[in-house]
Amino acid sequence: MRSHEHVSAAEFAEAIASIRADGGGSVRWFVHQPTAEEVAAATQHGLQREASLLHMRCALPLGAQHQVAADFVTRPFRPGHDNEAWLALNARAFAAHPEQGDWTLEVLAERLAEPWFDANGFFIYEVAGAMAGFCWTKVHDHTHAHDSGHGEPEGEIFVIGVDPAHHGKGLGRALTITGFAHLAAAGLRHGMLYVAGNNTAAIKLYESLGMSTADGDDVFVGVVSQYA
C-alpha cells in the first residue's frame, strides 16, 4: 500500500480487512509524513516501522565529470526473450528486499505493458553473455507525487540492480550514469529515484553523482492473516 493522501484509522482498518478477505499476506505500507493516528493504526494491526524510503533528485544532465568507460556497453531489454533471465537476476539483486525481489512473470508482464514502458530505456549489462546488471528508466509526463515545485516532466531510475557476484566493480555507478544520460538525452532536466534509507552505500553513490534527498516515506511492514 502507498498513501500520499492521509487516511483515518477506519479507512486503514478497511484496507486491512480487504487484504484479509483476499487471503492475507505480507504488507508494506508506504506513507508520507504519517500522522499519529496512522502510526497508531499501523501498530494496532501488527505493522512495524522499517527503514524509510528516500526520494532523491538531481539536475540533468549530470556533471561532465560523470562518464562511463568507453568499454562499458549495454543493450536494450528484449521483452519476451529476457523475461526469465531478468527475473532471476532481479531476485538475486534484491534477495533482502522481498517487495522487489519477489517479482513474478505476471508482475513483470504488467510493468512491460504500462504505457510508459520503453525498451530503449531499460539497459542490460552482460558479462560473458550473462546478465550482470540493469538500469530501468521511466519518464513521468507530469510532476511526481512528491512535488518539487518545478512542474516539468522528470526521468526516474525505476529499478537498478547488480548481481551480487559482480559487486565492487563499479557497475552500479556506471549503470546509474547510463540511465541518467539516456534521460538527459531525451530532453529531461530533472532526475529522481527511490532508495531505502538504510542503504548507505547506494545513498553515498547517488550523492557523489550530485543527487540530494528531497523527501521520504515512512515504511510499515507486517503480515496480515487470512480470515478464519
Q: Can you list the domains of the chain with their CATH numbers? A: 54-214 (3.40.630.30)
Q: State pTM to two decimals.
A: 0.84
Q: Tell me the average pLDDT across 108-137.
A: 97
* Per-residue pLDDT, 149: 52
Nearest to 60 by CA among 199, 210, 160, 203: 210
Residue with cell 484479509: 20
Distance CA 126, CA 128 (A): 6
Average pLDDT over residues 126-130: 97
Order of strands, edge to edge, in the sheet holding 2-3?
Answer: 2-3, 25-31, 212-224, 48-59, 190-196, 154-162, 130-140, 122-127, 75-76
Which pLDDT score, from 0 to 100, does residue 2 have?
47
Give yes or no for a contact between 31 and 220, defined as CB atoms under 8 angstroms apart.
yes
- Of the ranges 37-51, 61-75, 180-194, which one carries the lowest mean pLDDT score? 37-51
Average pLDDT rounded to a whole number, residues 66-87 = 97
129: Cβ–Cβ under 8 A, 6 or more apart, which residues?
A: none
What does the pLDDT read at residue 191?
98
The residue-averaged pLDDT of 198-206 equals 95
Ranges of H-type helices in the chain: 9-21, 36-44, 83-93, 98-101, 105-112, 171-185, 200-208
pLDDT class for 50, splitting at 50, 70, 90? Answer: confident
- Say which residue, 193 or 15, is predicted with more confidence: 193
Identity of the amino acid at 30 = F
Buried b / exposed e across 46-84, counting CB within 10 Å, b at 16+? Answer: ebeebebbbbbbbebbbeeebebeeeeebeebeeeebee
**3 confidence band (pLDDT: 50, 70, 90):** very low
